[in-house]
């Protein structure tokens, strides 16, 4: 049994959907971010980073979305959520997820989490103003360069799809119209219809 | 044959060392960042992101350090640079590399690359002032939480080691004394003695 720690409206949604896609046996534990649960004991004993997602397994706790996604794909290989035995195709998938993790998520985080990288209110306001520009640039690269279609990595649905869906769901709040990116927009609509996505979103909203 | 695109003083060093560790057949191509080669044709045709590293393979170009590192480990499995067939151990390794990629490298980038996330000189100065604090916090977590020893992931040298070495090599320029982190410091010294590290550094300096 796995225990999955998440909070609503965070990147944990990607792993949550993947757990549903994989049919993994897991128990969900939602943290209350408004109450600061992620930065308090006992959660810091589970994940000293004070963030989500975290996936507690029989051998220990895993953190970081790209690592958790690959773990789910590798632990439930019958679902073929990643081309595990093709080093090039697996690397392309991991490259896509690394871009989401280190560039897209990071760009978005400058809207609300500027205190990670600066101290002055004026800097935070400056960062917030730039969000539509940086997020648009990220999704333009995805739209025209990285996204293969019909799924992120081509013909097969993979662990890149719930991650892309999750970050695309932030565009509206970031002041970016997803319709500017027709392929990403179409993907978002198809993802929204999947049972795994509906189930994860229902759990996050419950 | 692989073609590896890099620039001196960048995170490409991690993949460069791993190529040497793997005994991979590759040709190195150094970009001149001061001349802006990474943002000009013909390089943008190779990597539209305008960054390094990029690894051109017979099937296409790969980018993003964690993806390239896992590709090297998976393409040259006889070197056992990653626990490829142990989903949990592989995920721990990938989690370590994802943290370096999305948190440590990103923290460091606020020293010189503030224009990625803001527009005002005052914001850049604010970001620069915070670098010693953010980089110290990252390496404190590595020192006490993530680093297993004697290598990053424990008894075996893996693709996490050249990545950690590369980011640790930035600490001095970031105004952080590596000696504050004894285990990371010891690791840095042992890495410096490895043939693969010396060879990659010689190529970058040549």
The label of the residue with tokens 């989490």 reads A113
The pLDDT, as a whole number, for residue A161 is 98
Flag residues of chain B having pLDDT under 70. none
Q: In chain B, what is the greatest distance between 2 CA atoms, to the nearest angstrom?
A: 51
Which of A106, A107, A123 lies at the smallest CB-CB distance from B123?
A: A123
Picking from A48, A74, A96, A98 by the largest number of B CB atoms within 10 A of its own CB, the best residue to mutate is A98
Each residue's pLDDT, cut to its tens digit, for chain A (206 residues) gives 899 999 999 999 999 999 999 999 999 999 999 999 999 999 999 999 999 999 999 999 999 999 999 999 999 999 999 999 999 999 999 999 999 999 999 999 999 999 999 999 999 999 999 999 999 999 999 999 999 999 999 999 999 999 999 999 999 999 999 999 999 999 999 999 999 999 999 999 98
Nearest to B118 by CA among A138, A178, A99, A122: A122
- What SS3 class is residue A62? strand
The pLDDT, as a whole number, for residue A206 is 87
Contact A122 B123 (CB under 8 A): yes
This prediction has a pTM of: 0.98
Which of A71, A95, A118 lies at the smallest CB-CB distance from B91?
A: A71
Cβ atoms of A159 and A70 within 8 Å: the answer is: yes
Nearest to B131 by CA among B94, B178, B174: B174
Picking from B123, B140, B143, B160 by the largest number of A CB atoms within 10 A of its own CB, the best residue to mutate is B123
Chain B residues in contact with A98 (beta carbon < 8 A):
64-67, 98, 101-102
Question: What CA–CA distances, in Å, run from A58 to A1, A125, A202, B26, B94?
Answer: 7, 44, 26, 40, 18
ipTM of the complex: 0.98
The label of the residue with tokens 């990285």 reads A146
- Other C-beta atoms closer than 10 Å to the C-beta of A23 total 11
Using the Cα atoms of residue A195, residue A177, residue A180 and residue B118 in order, give the sign of their dihedral: negative
Contact A48 B141 (CB under 8 A): yes
Which of B57, B106, B130 lies at the smallest CB-CB distance from A118?
A: B130
The label of the residue with tokens 């978002």 reads A188
DSSP assignments along B80-148, one per residue: --S-TT-HHHHHHHHHHHHHIIIIIHHHHHTTT-GGGT---HHHHHHHHHHHHHHHHHHHHHIIIII--
Chain B residues in contact with A63 (beta carbon < 8 A):
95, 99
Nearest to A170 by CA among A138, A126, A127: A138
Q: CA-CA distance, B69 to B159, in Å (whole number)?
A: 6
Contact A123 B127 (CB under 8 A): yes
Q: CA-CA distance, A165 to A104, in Å (whole number)?
A: 12
- What SS3 class is residue A193? coil
Contact B126 A118 (CB under 8 A): yes
Q: CA-CA distance, B54 to B28, in Å (whole number)?
A: 10
The label of the residue with tokens 């990629």 reads B101
Q: CA-CA distance, B131 to A180, in Å (whole number)?
A: 35
Q: CA-CA distance, B83 to B92, in Å (whole number)?
A: 10
Using the Cα atoms of residue A7, residue A11, residue A15 and residue A16 in order, give the sign of their dihedral: positive
> Running DSSP on this structure, what letter comes out for residue B24?
-
Q: CA-CA distance, A8 to A108, in Å (whole number)?
A: 16
- State CA B168 to chain mean position distance: 9
Cβ atoms of B30 and B9 within 8 Å: the answer is: no
Q: CA-CA distance, A124 to A111, in Å (whole number)?
A: 8
Chain A residues in contact with B67 (beta carbon < 8 A):
91-92, 94-95, 97-98
Picking from B102, B130, B142 by the largest number of A CB atoms within 10 A of its own CB, the best residue to mutate is B102
Nearest residue in chain B measured CA to CA from A68: B91
The CA distance from B120 to the nearest CA of chain A, in Å, is 7
Nearest residue in chain A measured CA to CA from B134: A117
Peptide bond into A79 cis (omega under 30): no
- Helices and strands: H and E segment counts in chain A: 9, 4
A3 contacts: CB under 8 Å, gap ≥ 6:
A26, A27, A28, A29, A55, A56
């Amino acid at each position: 049994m796995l225990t999955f720690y998440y909070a609503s409206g965070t990147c944990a949604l990607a792993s949550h959907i993947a757990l549903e896609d994989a049919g993994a046996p897991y128990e969900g534990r939602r943290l209350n971010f408004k109450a600061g649960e992620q930065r308090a004991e006992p959660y810091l004993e589970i994940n000293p980073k004070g963030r989500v997602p975290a996936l507690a397994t029989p051998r220990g706790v895993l953190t970081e979305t790209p690592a958790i996604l690959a773990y789910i794909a590798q632990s439930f290989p019958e679902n073929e959520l990643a081309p595990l035995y093709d080093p090039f195709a697996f690397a392309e998938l991991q490259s896509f997820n690394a871009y989401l993790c280190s560039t897209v998520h990071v760009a978005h985080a400058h809207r609300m989490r500027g205190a990670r990288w600066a101290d002055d209110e004026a800097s935070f306001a400056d960062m917030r103003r730039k969000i539509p520009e940086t997020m648009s640039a990220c999704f333009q690269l995805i739209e025209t360069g990285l996204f293969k279609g019909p799924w992120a990595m081509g013909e097969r649905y993979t662990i890149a799809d719930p991650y892309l869906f999750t970050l695309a769901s932030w565009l509206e709040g970031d002041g970016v119209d997803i319709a500017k990116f027709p392929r990403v927009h179409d993907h978002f609509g198809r993802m929204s219809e999947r049972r795994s996505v509906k189930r994860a979103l229902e759990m996050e909203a419950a």
